């Protein structure tokens, strides 16, 4: 009996050690993260501004209760089945924001979901989409954000019940849902399609809201963009694939114009969180909005689960 107990203790110790290694951020980087390339020598602030609005940074990180969407003091509560996440201060403040971060730390946060201190970020931060972004766009984005005004004040901690408050467990989640792949253009498609694919799949992170999720909160890849329950529990997010219960009746021009004005072909106006998305997308060029529309129109037509009848 004593030998059996010792063997079980050894196995348990090995299991714990293995779990510790597997959930370490360095393990995920070694296994999955694709090298984003050399850090650029210069920064294009105009492109950084484009990435800022394409990425919807202000929608979550602008300080609530004030009209300036460039004051990134954070504090917005994001409700989920796992608890409430509070968007952090990402202003240029040296201690309360990201003003003291290096570019390397910023890229790692955006692509790997890891803090400068080497801790996992919770995936309410959509790094599963931002991981597609290349080093040049991330450097330009960081340069633009560093030019914005610093905002004083740290945001409160997330309100998460046990065990969802254990950051180490996010390492296991990442093994299932963060593949570490950069965006690669499809050589069989034209430049406009690839630009749209990059903006929608990467900085635009459209799949994060417009896709169903599994019980662990990961995107169901086979059903991307087919709609599903709002991640914050506020209803149903629509199907944006060209299926009959999605955007099959929309033209590429309809999609382009919707991303600028928020008005559908049926003359309805976008509301809720999508209204904030439209504010961001209205800052993009007509060419970028047209490219996004062309990509969405070319997605596989996937049936979505209809919202419950009221």
**Strand residue runs (E) in the chain:** 77-80, 83-86, 228-229, 236-237
78-90 burial, b at 16+ Cβ within 10 Å, e below that, comes to bebebbebbbbbb
Q: What is the pLDDT of residue 210?
A: 93
CA–CA separation, 158 and 85 (whole Å): 5
CA distances for 126 relative to 148, 206, 211, angstroms: 22, 10, 13
- For residue 252, pLDDT over 60 is answered with yes
Question: pTM for this one?
Answer: 0.88
For the segment 152-209, what is each residue's pLDDT rounded down to a tens digit?
Answer: 999 999 999 998 999 989 998 999 999 999 999 999 999 999 999 999 999 999 999 9
Q: What is the mean pLDDT of the chain?
A: 87
Question: Which pLDDT band, with edges at 50, 70 and 90, does 22 fall under?
Answer: low
Q: What is the pLDDT of residue 228?
A: 85
CB 86 within 8 A of CB 158: yes
Contacts of 155 (CB under 8 A, 6+ apart): 73, 74, 75, 86, 87, 88, 89
Q: Residues 44-73: what's their mean pLDDT?
A: 93
Percent of the chain with pLDDT over 70: 87
CA distances for 112 relative to 25, 33, 145, 209, 211, angstroms: 8, 7, 19, 20, 21
Q: Of 35-39, 289-293, 302-306, which has the strongest mean pLDDT?
A: 289-293
3-class secondary structure per residue, 281-307:
HCCCCHHHHHHHHHHHHCCCCCCCCCC
Percent of the chain with pLDDT over 90: 70
If you search the block for the tokens 């961001």, which residue do you land on? 280
Tokens representing residue 226 in the block: 């087919």
Residues counted in the chain: 310
- Position with higher pLDDT, 126 vs 273: 126
- Position with higher pLDDT, 307 vs 126: 126
Q: Of 87-96, 210-219, 235-244, which has the strongest mean pLDDT?
A: 87-96
Q: What is the pLDDT of residue 12?
A: 44
Question: Which pLDDT band, with edges at 50, 70 and 90, does 28 fall under?
Answer: low
Q: What is the pLDDT of residue 5?
A: 54
- For residue 306, pLDDT over 80 is answered with no
Least confident segment among 32-36, 122-126, 289-293: 32-36
Q: Of 61-65, 268-272, 304-308, which has the strongest mean pLDDT?
A: 61-65
- For residue 292, pLDDT over 70 is answered with yes
Phi first, then psi, for residue 78 (nearest 5°) are -110, 110
- For residue 38, pLDDT over 60 is answered with yes
CA–CA separation, 247 and 239 (whole Å): 7
Q: Residues 4-28: what's their mean pLDDT?
A: 51
Q: What is the pLDDT of residue 16?
A: 44
Q: Of 137-151, 214-228, 293-307, which has the strongest mean pLDDT?
A: 137-151
Using DSSP, state whether 276 is helix, strand or coil.
helix
- For residue 45, pLDDT over 90 is answered with yes
């Amino acid at each position: 009996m004593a030998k059996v107990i010792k063997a079980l203790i050894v196995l348990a110790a090995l299991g714990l050690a293995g779990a510790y290694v597997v959930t370490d951020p360095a393990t995920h980087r070694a296994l999955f993260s694709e090298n984003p390339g050399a850090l650029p020598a210069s920064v294009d602030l105009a492109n950084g501004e484009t990435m800022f609005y394409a990425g919807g940074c202000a929608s979550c990180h602008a300080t609530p209760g004030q009209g300036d969407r460039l004051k990134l003091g954070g504090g917005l509560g994001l409700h989920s089945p796992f608890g409430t996440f509070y968007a952090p201060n990402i202003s240029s403040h040296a201690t309360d924001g990201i003003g003291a971060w290096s570019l390397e730390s910023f890229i790692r946060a955006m692509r790997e979901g890891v803090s400068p201190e080497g801790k996992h970020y919770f995936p309410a931060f959509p790094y599963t989409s931002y991981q597609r972004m290349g080093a040049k766009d991330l450097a330009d984005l960081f340069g633009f954000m560093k030019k914005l005004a610093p905002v004083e004040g740290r945001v409160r901690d997330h309100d998460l019940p046990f065990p969802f408050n254990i950051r180490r467990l996010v390492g296991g989640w990442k093994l299932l849902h963060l593949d570490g792949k950069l965006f690669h253009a499809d050589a069989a498609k034209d430049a406009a399609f690839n630009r749209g694919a990059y903006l929608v799949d990467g900085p635009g992170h459209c799949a994060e809201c417009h896709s169903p999720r599994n019980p662990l909160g990961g995107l169901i890849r086979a059903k991307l963009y087919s709609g599903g329950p709002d991640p914050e529990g506020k209803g149903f997010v629509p199907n944006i694939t060209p299926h009959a219960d999605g955007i099959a009746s929309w033209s590429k021009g309809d999609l382009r114009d919707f991303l600028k004005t928020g008005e559908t072909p049926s003359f309805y106006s976008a509301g809720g969180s999508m209204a904030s998305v439209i504010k961001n997308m209205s800052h993009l060029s007509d060419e970028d909005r047209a490219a996004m529309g062309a990509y969405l129109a070319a997605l596989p037509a996937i049936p979505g689960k209809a919202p419950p009848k009221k």
